[in-house]
Amino acid sequence: MPDIKTGSEGPEPAPSATDIATAWQRERPGTPTESIEIVTPIWWLAKLFADDRSRALREAGIDAATLDLLSVIRRSGPPYTLSTREIARRTLVTAGAISQRVARAERDGLVQRTPGATGRRTVLVELTAEGHALIERSVATVLGREAALVSGLSEHERPVLIALLDKLMADVRRRTTEES
């Protein structure tokens, strides 16, 4: 993969996705390259966003799994309590992974578990004051940084890109789940 940190480090700039598609057509005429100019920039952007988010999370003193757990509970509104089943549904993470995340966050004093009123197997997870404070700081850091990263898009371009990404995501999900 080309150096995508700046696109200009080293003796030559990194090739564009168009350059890559053109090279494949030159080297293997007839190769289906129509996806390269879409998928390759998405992969590169994902790496840039992931690397930047990792730095922001380190600065905020939280890991991605804990951010995900605390965020879903915080977004639920007062009293900032959800069942483990609902957390799993909202985060698209397995029940086992949620149990591990909750146990770790509980050890760290960020959440507390209580039995649910609807049945023996229902477990409710609630943010503690410390968990609430951590997610408030973390969200401000992470989302503020991500807002800065996309600030190069105009007010007109943003909704267009959002709609196109939503369309692509829905279609890719449909196609990949049909194949499973």
**What pLDDT was estimated at residue 11?**
65
Q: Is the pLDDT of residue 117 over 90?
A: no
Q: Is the pLDDT of residue 72 over 60?
A: yes
- Backbone torsions φ then ψ of 152, nearest 5 degrees: -75, -10
Confidence class for position 9, pLDDT limits 50, 70, 90 = low
Token pair listed for 49: 């966003």
Count Cβ atoms below 10 Å from residue 167 Cβ, excluding itself: 10
Q: Is the pLDDT of residue 7 over 70?
A: no
Q: Compute CA 40 distance to the chain's CA centroid, rounded to the nearest angstrom.
A: 18
Q: Which tops the pLDDT comparison, 8 or 111? A: 111
High-pLDDT (> 90) share of the chain, %: 82
Instruction: Kindly state the helix (H) or strand (E) to which residue 37 belongs, with its residue range.
Output: helix 36-60
Least confident of 6-10, 27-31, 87-91: 6-10
Query: What b-and-e string marks burial along 129-155, b requiring 16 or more CB atoms within 10 Å of the CB?
Result: eebbebbeebbebbeebeeeeeeeeee
Scanning the structure block, which residue is given the tokens 């477990």? 123
**What pLDDT was estimated at residue 129?**
97
Averaged over 91-104, what is the pLDDT?
A: 93
Of the candidates 70, 71, 80, 72, the residue with the CA atom closest to the CA atom of residue 109: 70
High-pLDDT (> 70) share of the chain, %: 92
Averaged over 53-73, what is the pLDDT?
A: 95
Confidence class for position 31, pLDDT limits 50, 70, 90 = very high
Q: Is the pTM of this model over 0.85?
A: no
